[in-house]
Amino acid sequence: MHYLLIYHLKPDYLERRGQFRNEHLALAWKAHESSGLILGGALQEPADKAYLLFEGDTPEAAEMFAKTDPYVKNGLVKKWEVRPWMTVVGNTAVSPVKPDAFL
């Protein structure tokens, strides 16, 4: 199953992230190597949300990431949530569904 970790960022996120960015990115790359993090990054124009895509049997890795992330611990994220995402299109979709024309 895929899980989206969704960060709702505070308005001063861009101004404040510098002092925590290296630690945040180290945590993210470690999670990529060992905890099912596939992709992650912030939306642009405006940078008001960030999404991190995890793959696993449970949402635990995404939840643990948020709980230990310096962005969350230092108040750059006003709230976060983990949502299951039923992916159906693409080479890495967990539950691919193709119409008859593609079979």
- The domain spans of the chain are 2-102
- Whether 97 shows a pLDDT value over 70: the answer reads yes
- Whether 58 shows a pLDDT value over 90: the answer reads yes
- Whether 103 shows a pLDDT value over 70: the answer reads no
- pTM for the predicted model, two decimal places: 0.92
Q: What CATH number does the domain located at 2-102 have?
A: 3.30.70.1060
pLDDT of residue 12: 96
As a whole number of angstroms, the distance between CA 30 and CA 66 comes to 13
Task: Using pLDDT thresholds of 50, 70 and 90, give the confidence band for residue 37.
Answer: very high
Say if CB 82 and CB 4 are below 8 A apart: yes
